[in-house]
C-alpha cells in the first residue's frame, strides 16, 4: 500500500531510538521522511528506510554530523529538493557526558556543546530558512529535544549535559518568538530517562535501574514511542496555538535528588 504524502518530516538523530520511533509514526501519518544521521549509523538508518518504504511510505537517508555547518546545510538542501520544504522537524541529535565537574574533559565538553547546542541552533537556522512563509516555505512545526535534566541540573555527573539542554530550552523560547509570524511554531519536548542508547547501561545493572525508577514518580522509564507521540502532536494542527512551550515527559520528574 502506498500512502498519500501529506507533509515532509525531517529528523536529526534519525537512527536513534526517539528519532526512529518518530520516523515510523510520522510515516504512518503520511509524512515523507528525511533521516539525518551520522554516516556511522548508515546501516541502522537504511534498515529503517527499508521498513518505511516497504510499508508504503517515502523516506531517505541524509548522512551528516550536526556539528558540521557544511554538512547540515547540504543535508537540509537535499531534503528540500527531495520532498519539498519540511513541515515538521524533530531535532533529536545529541550526545551525553557523564562526569563529575572535577573530572571534566575540555574536548568532551566542546564536542557536546558543538552537537547539543551549536549544531541544534544551525539546524534550526536551516529549517527556518526552508519553512518560513516569508521565503516561500509552507510554515510548520519544529520540535527540539531537550531533557528533564534541564529543570534540576541533572543527576550527579550530568551537569554539563543538563546545561546544554537548558540552553536548548532558552534558545527555543526566543526562536519561537522570532518566527511566530512566519508560520513556524517551535517547542521542546523534555524526556526523562527513556529506553535508548543513553540509558542502555540500566539494562546491565538491575540495582541501578531500580534506583533510577524509584526516583521517578511513575516508577518507570519511558519508551521512545511515548516521545514520538508528543512530537507528532506538536507537529499536528491539534497543537496549533502552542509555541515556545516545553512539554515535560519524564513520568512526573524526580522524587528525590539521590546519588544516581
What value does the CA radius of gyration of the chain take, rounded to a whole number of Å?
Answer: 18
**Catalytic-residue membership of 161:** yes
Angle formed by the axes of helices 159-179 and 120-131, to 10°? 20
| 161 and 112 Cβ atoms separated by less than 8 Å | yes
Q: How far is CA 243 from CA 123, 177, 246, 247, in A?
A: 18, 8, 9, 11
End-to-end CA distance of the chain: 47
Taking the C-alpha atoms of residue 58 and residue 204, their distance in angstroms, rounded to an integer, is 36
Question: Element (H or E) spanning 208, and its range?
Answer: helix 206-214
Taking the C-alpha atoms of residue 10 and residue 201, their distance in angstroms, rounded to an integer, is 29
31, 76, 83, 161: the catalytic one is 161
Taking the C-alpha atoms of residue 229 and residue 15, their distance in angstroms, rounded to an integer, is 17
| 2 and 56 Cβ atoms separated by less than 8 Å | yes
CB-based burial of residue 77 (10 Å sphere; 0-12 exposed, 13-18 middle, 19+ buried)?
A: middle
Length of the chain: 260
Taking the C-alpha atoms of residue 119 and residue 100, their distance in angstroms, rounded to an integer, is 24
Catalytically annotated residues: 161
Amino acid at each position: 500500500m502506498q500512502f498519500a504524502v501529506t507533509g515532509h518530516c525531517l529528523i536529526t538523530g534519525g537512527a536513534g531510538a526517539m528519532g526512529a520511533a518518530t520516523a515510523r509514526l510520522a510515516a504512518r501519518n503520511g509524512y515523507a521522511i528525511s533521516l539525518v544521521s551520522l554516516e556511522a549509523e548508515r546501516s541502522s538508518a537504511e534498515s529503517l528506510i527499508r521498513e518505511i518504504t516497504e510499508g508504503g511510505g517515502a523516506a531517505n537517508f541524509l548522512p551528516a554530523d550536526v556539528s558540521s555547518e557544511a554538512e547540515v546545510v547540504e543535508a537540509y538542501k537535499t531534503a528540500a529538493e527531495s520532498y519539498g520544504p519540511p513541515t515538521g522537524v524533530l531535532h533529536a541529535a545529541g550526545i551525553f557526558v557523564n562526569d563529575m565537574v572535577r573530572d571534566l574533559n575540555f574536548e568532551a565538553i566542546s564536542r557536546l556543546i558543538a552537537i547539543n547546542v551549536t549544531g541544534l541552533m544551525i539546524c534550526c537556522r536551516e529549517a527556518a530558512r526552508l519553512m518560513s512563509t516569508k521565503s516561500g516555505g509552507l510554515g510548520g512545526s519544529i520540535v527540539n529535544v531537550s531533557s528533564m535534566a534541564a529543570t534540576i541540573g541533572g543527576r550527579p555527573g550530568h551537569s554539563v549535559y543538563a546545561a546544554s539542554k537548558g540552553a536548548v530550552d532558552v534558545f527555543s523560547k526566543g526562536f519561537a518568538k522570532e518566527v511566530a509570524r512566519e508560520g513556524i511554531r517551535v517547542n521542546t519536548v523534555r524526556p526523562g530517562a527513556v529506553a535508548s542508547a543513553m540509558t542502555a547501561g540500566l539494562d546491565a545493572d538491575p540495582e541501578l535501574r531500580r534506583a533510577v525508577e524509584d526516583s521517578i514518580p511513575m516508577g518507570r522509564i519511558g519508551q521512545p514511542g511515548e516521545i514520538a507521540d508528543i512530537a507528532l502532536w506538536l507537529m499536528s494542527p491539534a497543537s496549533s496555538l502552542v509555541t515556545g512551550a516545553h512539554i515535560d515527559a519524564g513520568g512526573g520528574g524526580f522524587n528525590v535528588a539521590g546519588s544516581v
